[in-house]
């Protein structure tokens, strides 16, 4: 048996600096990948943060100053909102916590102003789709009334002009009686609109005259017509 001794090769010990460098590189790679993923996530949800205009906005709105301010404020808000979201992950539409930056407050203030204007601009598009014009829309929004109220008021005005001086009663033309019945029904009556001045119509006209302190003439005279034209 040979007396020679075999020496097994020993593994070289890795340098501590090399280990640290590898850990740092792995950490930097993970940080880079996280940042890229975060950027992707924020980019894919950016539309939820911004104010996006679309066809529901009336770009021919009668108040040009309001429309201009809406577009300007939307651009200002979007610039601030995009920075807050992409850089800090802050959605100005959902402010949480007590610590709010000046940029967040500015974005919130702009957003409130934009939303108020947007309501009017969208409403204008809707009202135009049912045939109303700029003047009608201005009245509806200025007086804060519904389209139905405006249409009713315009109809009352038109009907009153048609009946002025006619003293509608028994023997009047059916078309005039029909209009008078329509006017009566605007005041919480529910008589048949059939162009016949019968006892039901006469009773409603007389009741309306008594309720409004008018002479019970059994006719829709000009004094009665004036009251019928007023809003409830």
pLDDT digits (tens, 9 = 90+) for 4-47: 565 555 555 667 777 787 777 778 777 766 667 666 677 778 88
Cα–Cα distance, 171 to 147 (Å, whole number): 35
What residue segments make up the domains of the chain, in order of their start? 49-140, 146-228
For residue 206, CA distances in Å to 192, 193, 214, 221 come to 16, 17, 9, 11
CB 159 within 8 A of CB 183: yes
**What is this structure's pTM?**
0.65
SS3 128: helix
Task: Report the pLDDT value the prediction gives residue 31, as an integer from 0 to 100.
Answer: 73
Give backbone dihedrals phi and psi of 133, rounded to 5 degrees, phi first: -100, 180
Q: Give the dihedral of Cα atoms 218, 219, 222, 223; nearest 10 deg.
A: 10
Given the structure tokens 């501590």, which residue do they identify? 16
CATH of 146-228, picked from 2.60.320.10, 1.10.101.10, 3.90.950.20, 3.40.50.2000, is 1.10.101.10
Predicted local confidence at residue 62, as pLDDT: 95
Cα gap 201→205, rounded to integer Å:
6
> Are 104 and 89 a contacting pair, CB within 8 Å?
no
Residues 155-177 have pLDDT tens digits of 888 999 999 999 999 999 999 99
Tokens of 196: 């016949």
Calpha distance 70→111 (Å, rounded)? 10
Residue labelled with tokens 């309001």: 66
Q: Which residues of the chain fall short of a pLDDT of 50? A: 1
């Amino acid at each position: 048996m040979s007396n020679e001794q075999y020496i097994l090769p020993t593994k070289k010990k890795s340098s501590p600096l090399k280990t640290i460098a590898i850990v740092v590189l792995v950490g930097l790679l993970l940080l880079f990948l996280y940042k890229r993923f975060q950027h992707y996530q924020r980019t894919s949800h950016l539309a939820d943060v911004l104010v996006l205009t679309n066809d529901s906005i009336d770009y021919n709105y009668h108040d040009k100053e309001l429309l201009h301010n809406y577009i300007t404020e939307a651009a200002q808000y979007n610039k601030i909102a995009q920075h807050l979201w992409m850089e800090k992950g802050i959605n100005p539409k959902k402010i949480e916590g007590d610590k709010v930056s000046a940029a967040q407050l500015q974005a919130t203030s702009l957003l409130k102003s934009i939303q108020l204007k947007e309501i009017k601009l969208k409403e204008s598009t809707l009202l135009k789709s049912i045939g109303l014009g700029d003047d009608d829309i201005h009245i509806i929004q200025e007086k804060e009334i519904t389209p139905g109220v405006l249409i009713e008021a315009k109809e009352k005005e038109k009907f009153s002009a048609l009946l002025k001086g006619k003293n509608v009663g028994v023997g009047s033309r059916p078309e005039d009686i029909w209009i008078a019945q329509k006017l009566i029904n605007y005041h919480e009556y529910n008589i048949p609109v059939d162009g016949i001045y019968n006892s039901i119509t006469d009773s409603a006209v007389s009741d309306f005259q008594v309720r409004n302190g008018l002479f019970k003439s059994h006719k829709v005279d000009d004094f009665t017509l004036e009251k019928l034209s007023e809003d409830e």
